[in-house]
Structure 1
Amino acid sequence: MNTKATSRPTFPFTAIIGQEEMKLSLILNVIDPKIGGVMIMGDRGTGKSTIVRALIDLLPPIEVVENDPYNSDPQDPELMSSEVLEKIKKKEQLSIIKVKTPMVDLPLGATEDRVCGTINIEKAISEGLKAFEPGLLAQANRGILYVDEVNLLDDHLVDVLLDSAASGWNTVEREGISICHPAKFILIGSGNPEEGELRPQLLDRFGMHAQIKTLKEPNLRVKIVQQRESFDKDPINFKNKYKEEQEKLTTKIEQARKKLKEIKISYDLMEKISQVCSELNVDGLRGDLVTSRAAKALAAFEEREEVTTRDIFTIITLCLRHRLRKDPLESVDSGFKVQQTFKKVFNYE
């Protein structure tokens, strides 16, 4: 496991201009990973990867068991590998260190063995050991797994990623040998809609769906270009300019995480969320659940005790637009359709 921060400097999250939809989706998922990840669709060159990589700098370091390939949490048995649990049972002393929250990039050509890990059958038979070589899912435990061009990934592999992200576990079975380890991570996928959409049943399993577009205003485009040039010229100095803003946002995220359990949402608002989902013919209950979770995360982020109608309006498009059934003859944008239904049900102007 790499315990050092990557030497390549990352562009500061607070310096990113525009793309509010995507930034909000990422922050809310970091506050409550149970939202279920983000799918980001947008044109090429709109800074999707830059924003995702910038997110990691906002996250506080985590405590891990040293030399454990699964970033095992020394306090939480649910996030420990079987080796660490065994050590605790034997009352062995654990060496604990702090590391940066892991961020794993999934390469496009990755095989299932590279992602899930492999069992060395020969070693297992000859030495009677479960010789497991952990994969990328092990590295991503308690962190972020980022898949660029997720729509070009093999559907089976996307399925494996979504299963692990939802259950928090990865199971590898070969020749009658089975290994299970924690794999709790926030899954972030990005893609270009020109290269094809994900299958609806896979898309539905992402908690939120952010769309990002190329900015049209010339003055903002110039500002982005200037910022990028300043960063490339002197990244350390550029990052220092945003240090205070970055620290403020990190503190806000940490406080929201702690506050999340106390946030209340009224029965009336929950019923209206379900009515919106019902009128939009959203299959299953995932849409209702994610909308409620995201609204609570937003209320926690904005330091309030209770979810408001405004909170729901802010996030409902991100939570539902990818769950609507596609009608090839319909010209209305799915996001606009969600907003119209919301305004009607909530009587919101």
Structure 2
Amino acid sequence: MDMIHARGLVQTFYTGRGKQKREVRAVDGVDLHVAEGEVVGFLGPNGAGKTTTLRMLTTLLRPTAGTATVNGYDVVQDSVQVRRSIGYVSQAGGTFSQAQAGDEVVDHGMLYGMSRRDAVKRGHELFGQLQLDGLWERMPKNMSGGQKRRLDIVMGLIHDPTLVFLDEPTTGLDPQARANLWDHIAKLRTERGATVFLTTHYLDEADALSDRIIIIDNGTIVAADTAENLKAQVSGDLVSLEVAAGEHVEVASKRLGVIASDVETDARHVRGRVRRAGREVPGLLRALESDGVALDSIEIVKPTLDDVFLTLTGRSLRDAEAEQSSESETAPSLTKEGVSQ
């Protein structure tokens, strides 16, 4: 059973006014599905359409075109039922009142129909699991950024939803808290049978947590598969040789070029992609030894999701992030009606 099923989702915004008005498709014909019990990573650079897609799936933004069902409910026709059946942790974080953190959580649970007793019990469980012990009576405004982020996650999980949307959940967390949250996300599926739809631009996060990865770029889906299958599309492992003497770079480059593609060199390094590197590299080393080429080091690196993104789009995910950051500094913000003021 598909917990999420979307066909042809489009979200259009506009920039400018009058004759300068221009249509921008933030999401352009997205098809995706998520099966019951899956943890799916939705990967792409900032501005690629991740959060816009998620906001449509969680009924916060009405699609310009296309259809989607979540937990069997149509996101337009059955929006109330969708919201009741999911957990959602937004990228922006929650808006907290002047109440204590524990009261915020309990009130949030009761909005979903929980009894106060059950909400208190579940809230304390989550506070312990997400390293918020001792903060039940603290006001959110007096918490650190990382603590507030974990409180956001508690509020998204308080009613024990079977489908959880997490939008950049580890932003602002230190490495220890991030690792703890990874463990908790894994347990949502293994111990509670939850389906998790996770948006992120952290490559290691998507790789570590996801059964399947969907990659979006410029508003369109460019790939959807397991991390292993996606990385298999890259043309081999990256083999990097550091020669002891710079004059041997040319010889090493020719030898590596016999088994590698995309060979690059600099003053003392030679790099290239090698299929079945574990089988090919021993022969390369023997050939270099016979040529009298001494190496200071050799490194073999398996393909990463950034390599996958580079293969699919012609640029690395980090480069795409930099492009979006540069554009956002100069471009006007977009709204449904035009430029926001």
TM over 0.5: no
Between structure 1 and structure 2, the one with the greater Rg is 2
TM-score by length of 1: 0.34
Q: Say which structure is richer in helix.
A: 1
Q: Say which structure is richer in strand.
A: 2
